[in-house]
Structure 1
């Protein structure tokens, strides 16, 4: 018996070690108690009760998945005579088996109409022993057999850790030497010589019916008996609701490149320059937003469309100074060479400036923050400059008037500040 239990433990340990982590518990311990019934063979005149109380089962089970598992278990009890209608006999028995488990409830989709009732089927083989306490044969003593066991186990889920069970099993003994009462040899023909062993070992058949409990082990929410993979997925209706919610969040009502859920000014006029929060920019702080300001980087009254009353330099110089001083930039997210939507208006600004001033050439300068390897950042800064170069050419600026170069990391900002690093991830311009 100890060897059998050790074998079951080793098999279970090996399976556990090599199995992948599951979303359900796989181990359970089982105990049950109930009736037995030896069917045949019995000595003529000997009878057993239809339901003889006195059978006990213990087992440990491991499920590979929701449908198939393995169980090691043993059962013991006593066969007795039917009172007042049979001679007395007492036979103690023991059986030990390894069985395959089949989750019929999941195979038959019980979950479509119940989440608390289930049925398992089991089939396996092992060995057994009969111990005849009142045998009349001279040899008497013990009788060992191999056996085949099969049956069905009904389950009622009490909690996620405990289930009530009801089991009916049939056990087929092979090479059983004696009858279940132990008073004659078990042979498929009459024995003419009394107490003579014919050395013919016929089978024996008996039944058990028990009620018990299963205790589920593990830290997951459900055991494989009750786990339903579909439960972890959202329904089509739930997915549709979530997708629609995301679509609503990503709406950009004013078309400024900043989605509504981040936009602090969701009604920005068309063509207005905005910052990362979607707020209209007024670079010179004169009260006239950039998209309405003819001199967006020099303060001036609204009466002169945001330009100074006395212009001491040509308009070309205003624009050139604003561009060269770094007021006009295209920004990027971390490790990206795709311009942020709200900042592409800077490229449009430079494009319009160059179209109005055909004698002007511009160099596009790419930069990166100080995070990451220096060589990688140099290449990233060049890709950023090239992306703006492509935008300007697509807007109609002749390529001969443009050049681009990556300058690598901008070390002039505080690299410990997330806001400063965002300012470093940019493409700037220099008017030649």
Structure 2
């Protein structure tokens, strides 16, 4: 029993020692560990009022089989022996651990129905306690935002003033303390608390009544206290650390809501500006100006894989029949286009993760169509490339789809399929891809003469 008492007494010393070690740490990690708590009040004033139960020992209250013959009086106390009041100051090092200094007053009287004489003793208490904030330790915020529970243990000293009708003396006692405190949040600064404490005394010379001295070997006295009161945060902050777990949970919830809101904002954008929001768009990256249906898919009535407006542009604006006839008279036109293709100046570029060419590349597609129609003996090879974003298998597929898309446009414009070969080569190896501009140049279909 004594070993347990000594262990309980040493626990506050361990807590103080650990806190001093933390304060001595000069590295950034220790600083960052406690920095968040600067936004919270860490000092508290506590007070309560209730009752006490002086459980043992009392004069002549031993079991009958002991019944000493020299005992002429029998004293017992009621379930509530008398008034109890307490006042405390507490400091929390963080959201889980703290120290409290507490003082208490107890008025002790007899149970009239089970005592042969009356008495009235007074007992003053003081204690230093280690406080454990179970709300943060056990994550109470998962099921409540208004209830908290603290457990504490420590050691203390007391002064027993026995009834002076029996003895004119003072009795100094030493105690091991343990208890728990349910708390209900009334506001950010004030909590309603119910405190239940047990004090185990040793080195207590007199029984609670003062009529006789104690005869026990180890535990000389036991006192139970129960009280209701208030816990008030001291400081200028709007939040106190007793409810850190609740505030922290609310911050996390707000962060999640912000993420959801940002995701919703992202969905409400229309990246390709086709009039269909991204989260409804089944064909992102549609070429600017191309008509789409309500699902964001480019209109392709003849189902040839080429958007109608892009197809009409190729057939009417750039390579109309009259324009083609006129070009026949320009013998050097083919030589110019051949030179541009050979030097690598004619390429078709794409947006990110898209197989539809950029509007700026329509002129180059027209030049290819014009050249092939003017030179029926010429054949070409289309090689698709991507930027380095994405995995290898996906990029190889995307590059092949880009090359095929341009192939389909040329075929739909009247070029025989036998004159065109296409393939995908994955990530473009000719660019460092260390900038946004470089990545744009990487996303292309290269045109080569065979």
**TM-score normalised by structure 2 residue count:** 0.56
Return the alpha-carbon distance in structure 1 between the equivalents of residues 184 and 280 of structure 2. Answer: 58
Residue 198 (structure 2) aligns with: 172
Secondary structure, aligned partner of 1:304: helix
Q: Distance in 2 between matches of 1:100 and 1:252?
A: 52
CA contact (8 A) 2:407 2:422 kept: no
Q: Tell me the secondary structure at the aligned position of residue 39 of structure 1.
A: strand
Give CA-to-partner distance per residue, 1:261-306, whole Å, 9 cap, x none: xx4x4649968xxxxxx9x99xxxxxx96552355xxxxxx89347
CA gap 1:404/1:97 in 2 versus in 1, 3 angstroms: closer
Partner of 1:391: 404
Aligned to 1:34: 48
The change in CA–CA distance for 1:329 and 1:27 in structure 2 (over 3 A counts) is: farther
Q: Does 1:245 align with 2:271?
A: no
- Which residues of structure 2 form unaligned runs of 5+? 1-8, 24-28, 60-74, 110-117, 271-275, 293-297, 301-306, 412-416
2:322 maps to which of 297, 304, 310: 304
Relative distance call for 1:62 and 1:176 in structure 2 (3 A) is: same
1:307, 1:325 → 2: CA distance? 27
CA contact (8 A) 2:140 2:148 kept: no
Q: 1:325 to 1:253 in 2, by over 3 A?
A: farther
TM-superposed CA distance for 1:139, in Å, is 7.9
Q: How does 1:96-115 map to 2 (within 5 A)?
A: 96-103=128-135, 106=140, 109-110=143-144
Cα distance in 1 for residues equivalent to 2:379 and 2:385: 20
Q: How does 1:268-347 map onto structure 2 within 5 Å?
A: 290-295=314-319, 304-305=322-323, 308=326, 311-313=329-331, 320=338, 323-324=341-342, 328-331=346-349, 341-343=356-358
Instruction: Give, in angstroms, the shift of residue 164 of structure 1.
Output: 0.3
SS at match of 2:330: coil
The separation in 2 between residues aligned to 1:238 and 1:386, in whole angstroms, is 34
Q: Does 1:55 align with 2:81?
A: no
Structure 1's 309 and 291: CA in aligned 2 closer, same or farther, altered over 3 A?
closer
Q: Distance in 2 between matches of 1:148 and 1:385?
A: 69
Contact 2:179 2:195 in 1 (8 A): yes
Q: How many residues align?
A: 367
The alpha carbon displacement at 1:35 in A equals 2.6
Please list every run of 5 or more consecutive structure 1 residues that lacks an aligned counterpart in the other structure.
64-68, 112-117, 272-277, 282-287, 296-301, 373-378
TM-score of the aligned structures, taking structure 1 as reference length: 0.58
Bigger proportion of residues as helix = 2
